[in-house]
A and B are shown apart, each in its own frame.
Chain A
Amino acid sequence: DTGVSQNPRHKITKRGQNVTFRCDPISEHNRLYWYRQTLGQGPEFLTYFQNEAQLEKSRLLSDRFSAERPKGSFSTLEIQRTEQGDSAMYLCASSLPTSGSGNEQFFGPGTRLTVL
């Protein structure tokens, strides 16, 4: 499978615990995005990387959230001291660097987080 992959697919945790998600983009895609989606809503942008540089961050990305892409390949999203309001689907996307593609974003299957 050459698409965007995310692990784990499901995560159940207790309030106050830390969780970490991983995203592996499509190879040769140098741009990587994180979004969050709650039930019945469209995804909301969290952050964007070009190679290893984090270039955009949403106000939704509170100080409990941190994202990294250390070598410009896979990325991790960590949530510290989880709250019930963090329960959502966390989606990762990637895109090509070439302008001709329009930077079409391709999404992974998501990680569903449930905070009890």
Chain B
Amino acid sequence: KQEVTQIPAALSVPEGENLVLNCSFTDSAIYNLQWFRQDPGKGLTSLLLIQSSQREQTSGRLNASLDKSSGRSTLYIAASQPGDSATYLCAVRPDTGRRALTFGSGTRLQVQP
């Protein structure tokens, strides 16, 4: 059974810092990995999707990397801003043909102005 772990569970940084969020998964047989942002009481906003054959994806100040063989992904946020404060979730889809995503519990990020 796939298990996804996100470390740290919570993080508080001053504005302007670069930061890295970590995601690890136990079964490397994945089809893709997706990073989401969730604001309190809201739905999920898709940030980046990395196919299993890719090493990284970039969108603006966000960069996500994937090391499938070691079961790890990182989300790098450059020059953090207070508006980045949210919970960040990673999710993996298996390469078995099934479509269900398995999520981590998220990292709650607070960027202090």
Contact = CB atoms under 8 A, between A and B. Distances in A.
A58 interface: yes
Contact of A56 (B43, B45, B91, B98): B98
Chain B interface main SS type: strand
B34 A104 contact: yes
B99 interface: yes
A95 B43 CA distance: 15
Interface string A75-114: 0000000000000000101010000001111111110100
Contact of B91 (A42, A108, A112): A42
Contacts of B44: 43, 91, 93, 107
B93 to A, nearest CB: 7
Interface residues of B, number: 25
A80 B78 CA distance: 47
Contact of A42 (B99, B100, B105): B105
Interface of A: 4, 6, 31, 33, 35, 40-45, 48, 55-56, 58, 91, 93, 95, 102-110, 112
Interface of B: 4, 31-32, 34, 36, 41-46, 49, 51, 89, 91, 93, 98-106
